[in-house]
Structure 1
Amino acid sequence: MVGLASPMLVNCGSLPALPGPLGDVAAAAGGCPEMESGSFADLKFQGGAEVEGKVKGFLEAAFSLDKVITEMEASLIASCGQLGKDLGMGEEELKAEAGGGKGAEKVCTAVSAKVSAMLKANAEAQLAVEVDPPKCYVPIDFMTKCLGDCGSPVTGGKLEASCKGGEIAGKCDAECKGSCAVEAGGSCTGTCKASCEGKCDAGFSGTCGGKCDGKCDGKNSKGTCAGKCEGKCDASASGSCTGTCDGKCSGSCELKAGAKCEGTCSGGCSAEIKEPKCTGDFEPPNVSIDCQLQCTAKGAAEFTCDAPNVRIVAKGKASADAQKLVAALQTTLPAILKIQLGTGKKLAASVAGVAKGAAEMKDVALKAGGKAIACIAVAAEASVSASASIDVNVKASASVGGSVGAGG
């Protein structure tokens, strides 16, 4: 069982690499092609229904996590690719397939080099970048159902007590007592700490990248204010707004407490919160560790993270190229940094849970037979590859942010 507890000893394509008799048993079982398809329903294991349920639950968690990580990389490739396209890069430089993080590494590294080159060519312009970390959400209804199906139902106590390091948020059909966040890119009539496509009332302190109706603390060319606007700012789809936005916000839009919330309400609702989510880790007391690990991994596809609020302003002598770079970064950098600061961290924790679960499955595998040993070994190896892939993706995302000083 050393091979299961230490996945690096297991070769996914050569299961006889498992030590001693276990390798022979796994080889005789014919490997585990089901880990390629994710079809585990027809698998039969020894040891009874409880053992079979534990093995299948672990395999489903490992497969789901691997799929989500591949989708994350595809999303990062698309975001870095869009930034590169906006900056005039060629199609071949931006073409890659998701796989182990290498696709994202290729595209994002090339884009990072392009951004650095543009900044070097416009040395008289400096970019001021502010990044607010994203909020991530764990769907409580999903986790509660999963834990119940796993044989470890959530009983008693308040949901707030199970939400570690965060708070309960969700849909509020009544009065939102806290803050209301509208999804990035949506219609906003509240505080936008990113780019506002519309009118931004900066409240005498906001940074304006559009036309200023008032006093401009900075260069004011043809009505365009590159500094702070003491008045109203028409950011015209490219300005960075730190006040009230009436239009579309590229980041999350915070509405005042007491307003009707069409987005995600946190901090309390005068009625029951619907579709509750935890902004921390959902860890109810008295649930089994293996169920907690499995459900956290299975829930990876259900977890969401907001794009971080990013504010970028060109200072100094900003050429047309520098302004073009600011506009492109303001649009795509939030999605890129979301991997580094949000999604990547959440998935890394889930992968660690699967790896820990693999080490704790040794006794179950012995009861379940050769097929279980083979499949658990493959799933354990997949967790090692998944961990490496996340690391590469996070570094690829960070390379772009780092090129403009927005490393979080």
Structure 2
Amino acid sequence: MSVNRWKLVTMPVLMLGLASPLLVNCGSLPALPGPLGDVAAAAGGCPEMETGSFADLKFQGGAAVEGKVKGFLEAAFTLDKVVTEMEASLIASCGQLGKDLGMSEEELKVEPGGGKGAEKLCSAVAAKVTAMLQANAEAQIAVEVDPPKCYVPIDFMTSCLGDCGSPVSPGKLEASCKGGEIAGTCEAECKGSCNVEAGAACNGTCKASCEGKCEAGFSGTCGGKCDGKCDGKNTKGKCAGKCEGKCDAEAQGTCSGTCDGKCSGSCEMKASAKCDGTCSGGCSAEVKAPKCTGDFEPPNVDISCQMQCTAKGAAEFTCDAPNVRVVAKGKANTDVNKLIAALQTTLPAIVKIQLGTGKKLATTVAGVVKSGAEIKDVALKAGGKAIACIAVAVEASASASASIDVNVKASASVGGSVGTGG
């Protein structure tokens, strides 16, 4: 796995500009021409876009036209809902970080909407982090992040594509997973790697905090022999403080090697006869609840159908919290250690939006926007109500696109406050 290394330099820290992922340019969104706009207004708008209840809507032009219009409306509604939930999640994470750093309730109070609430809150928290680091100029902090894995649920996608009239041919799952691999539950022998959830028992590679014995790359409090650098006077001997190297005692701290205990991030184990987590890279039996770590794009599938199901699947796909390792170097006082503990706890959820969820949603909204540009011709056949609903859906897609951009930049601002790049 490739690793993004986010390094904090000697304070005062320089704020680094972070490039957000390639997002949709809202200015390219289609606008309904004057006559269509007049017809839409006469139809009385589209309150169904507020509830997502499209089943009872009837449009002109036949079943094929009605299916395309409803599919687009469902896709736009789902995407708007997911983006709203993403902002709520980011507000919660930035709020928790601010609370852990001693910010007041008044400082953390924001109203969500279009990503602006998250932007305001995360910027305030980023400023707090920067101030703490600048006040402790002799300290250094190093941060490393493993980008999160994101998963598209294959069972959902195949079912949706079938309902949409574009079923996936049997035996095409591997070929349909673009830029990734099939992963899931393996009830037989896992021939690849097995990832268990954070906090579970781990006897494998952990790149986060290990509650137990870490056999390599340990950097944390060691109550025994430290084979490496100790922040006290002893090295290759008993170390009662921070040990950068091997520690032969039970330890709790950042581990970038094999952890025999509980790993606060994901734990990756080698091929095993039993895998209680997500198996990727091969299973001796059929994988249950299969997921694609890339984009699920089966061959010979209708483009419109693919867009609809990808957008609807946005509510179903998941991203692992990335492994984040925060280590102090130099003279770290109580405030710096407090900051490190807070970042270790909350930064994974914040980074997940920047490097995982946000990027995935940006790709999805691009498909919906493209479909919106093509739906106008269909709307002419479907009647005034369809035109009204499509107009609202196009506007919702524009709003969702802009909100994704704002949320990603808001999450990046927290990383930028500690000198990250990525």
Whole-angstrom CA distance in 2 between matches of 1:8 and 1:29: 22
Structure 2 CA distance for aligned equivalents of residues 209 and 68 of structure 1: 40
Point out the more displaced range, 244-253 or 360-369. Answer: 244-253
Distance 1:89 1:240, change over 3 A: same
Candidates 142, 164, 188, aligned match of 2:178: 164
Which of 326, 330, 336 is equivalent to 1:322? 336
The alpha-carbon distance between structure 1 residues 37 and 138, as it changes in their structure 2 partners (threshold 3 A), is: same
1:64 alignment counterpart: 78
Equivalent residue for 1:231?
247
Q: Deviations over 1:135-179 (max 9, x none)?
A: 000111100011111111111443111110000000001111111
Task: Verify: 1:200 aligned to 2:213, yes or no.
Answer: yes
Aligned mates of 2:105, 2:96 — CA distance in 1? 10
Q: Aligned equivalents of 1:339 and 1:6: distance in 2?
A: 24
1:350 maps to: 364
Check 1:243–1:62 CA distance in 2 against 1; reply closer, same or farther (3 A cut): same
Partner AA of 2:99 in structure 1: K
AA matched with 1:208: G
Deviates more, 1:215-224 or 1:353-362: 215-224
Q: Does 1:393 align with 2:407?
A: yes
The answer to whether structure 1 residue 213 and structure 2 residue 255 are counterparts is: no
* 1:313 alignment partner, SS class: strand
2:195 is aligned, of 165, 181, 206, to 181
Q: 2:268 aligns with which of 233, 244, 254?
A: 254
Instruction: Report the number of matched residues.
Output: 393
Q: Shift of the alpha carbon at 1:223?
A: 4.0
Q: CA separation in 2, counterparts of 1:316 and 1:68?
A: 42
User: 1:96-107 to 2 correspondence within 5 Å?
Assistant: 96-107=110-121
Q: How far 1:300 moved relative to its partner?
A: 0.2
CA contact (8 A) 1:212 1:229 kept: no
State the shift of 1:187 in Å: 3.3
**Contact 1:7–1:377 (Cα < 8 Å) also in 2:** no
User: 2:145·2:324 contact (CA, 8 Å) conserved in 1?
Assistant: yes
Whether the 8 Å CA contact 2:205–2:267 is kept in 1: the answer is: yes
2:294 alignment partner in structure 1: 280
- CA gap of 1:310–1:212, structure 2 versus 1, over 3 A, is farther
Identity, % of aligned positions: 77
Query: CA offset at residue 286 of structure 1?
Result: 0.1
Taking structure 1 as reference, are residues 29 and 315 closer, same or farther at Cα in structure 2, changes over 3 Å only?
Answer: same
Query: Which residue identity lines up with residue 342 of structure 2 in the other structure?
Result: A
Distance in 2 separating the partners of 1:342 and 1:390: 12
| Structure 1 position 116 matched with structure 2 position 130 | yes
Match of 2:420 in 1: 406
Secondary structure of the corresponding residue to residue 218 of structure 2: coil
Measured after TM superposition, the shift of residue 361 of structure 1 is 1.1
User: What CA deviation, in whole Å up to 9, does each residue of 1:353-377 have, x standing for no partner?
Assistant: 1101111112211111111111111
Alpha-carbon distance between aligned partners in 2 of 1:202 and 1:86, rounded to the nearest angstrom: 31
TM-score (norm 2): 0.89
Counterpart residue number, 2:10: none
Q: Which of 325, 344, 348 lines up with 1:334 in the alignment?
A: 348
Q: Please give the alpha-carbon distance, in whole angstroms, between the structure 2 residues aligned to 1:351 and 1:259.
A: 40
Partner residue in 2 for 1:271:
285
Tell me the CA shift for residue 9 of structure 1.
Answer: 6.7
Structure 2 residue identity aligned to 1:20: G
- Select between 315-324 and 220-229 the one with higher mean Cα deviation: 220-229
Identify the match of residue 53 of structure 1 among 63, 67, 71. 67
Could you tell me which residue of structure 2 aligns to residue 366 of structure 1?
A: 380
SS at match of 1:23: helix
Q: Work out which of the residue numbers 39, 45, 50 in structure 1 matches 2:53.
A: 39
Cα 1:335–1:162 change in 2 (3 A) is: same
Across the aligned residues of Structure 1 and Structure 2, the Cα RMSD in angstroms comes to: 1.9
Provide, for residues 279-315 of structure 1, a one-character-per-residue CA deviation record: whole Å limited to 9, x for no partner.
Answer: 0000000001001111110000111001111111000
Shift of 1:245: 2.3
Per-residue CA deviations over 1:198-229 (Å, capped at 9, x if unaligned) read 113232x3323443433341303894443413
Distance 1:114 1:224 in 2: 31
Deviation at 1:323, TM superposition (A): 0.9
> Contact 1:7/1:384 (CA < 8 Å) preserved in 2?
no
Q: Structure 1 residues 320 and 42, CA, compared in 2 at 3 Å: closer, same or farther? A: same
Query: Distance in 2 between the 1:277 and 1:377 partners?
Result: 34
CA distance in 2, matches of 1:45, 1:90: 53
Q: Give the structure-1-normalised TM-score.
A: 0.92
Aligned partner of 2:389 among 371, 375, 382: 375
- Structure 1 counterpart of 2:220, one-letter code: C
Which is helix-richer, 1 or 2?
1
What amino acid sits opposite 1:201 in the alignment?
C
Amino acid corresponding to residue 278 of structure 2 in structure 1:
T
Deviation at 1:387, TM superposition (A): 0.8
Q: Is the 8 A contact 1:105 1:392 kept in 2?
A: yes
> Matched residues in 2 for 1:210 and 1:300: separation?
43
In structure 2, what is the Cα distance between the partners aligned to 1:392 and 1:224?
45
8 Å contact kept, 1:7–1:380: no
Query: Partners of 2:215 and 2:340 in 1: how far apart?
Result: 19
What is the CA–CA distance in structure 2 between the aligned matches of 1:314 and 1:370, rounded to whole Å? 63
Q: Counterpart in 1 of 2:15?
A: none
How far apart, in 2, do the equivalents of 1:7 and 1:380 lie?
Answer: 11
Instruction: Name stretches of at least 5 consecutive residues in structure 2 with no aligned partner.
Output: 1-25
Listed as ranges, the gaps of 5+ residues in structure 1 are: 11-17
Counterparts in 2 of 1:9 and 1:283: CA distance versus 1, 3 Å: closer
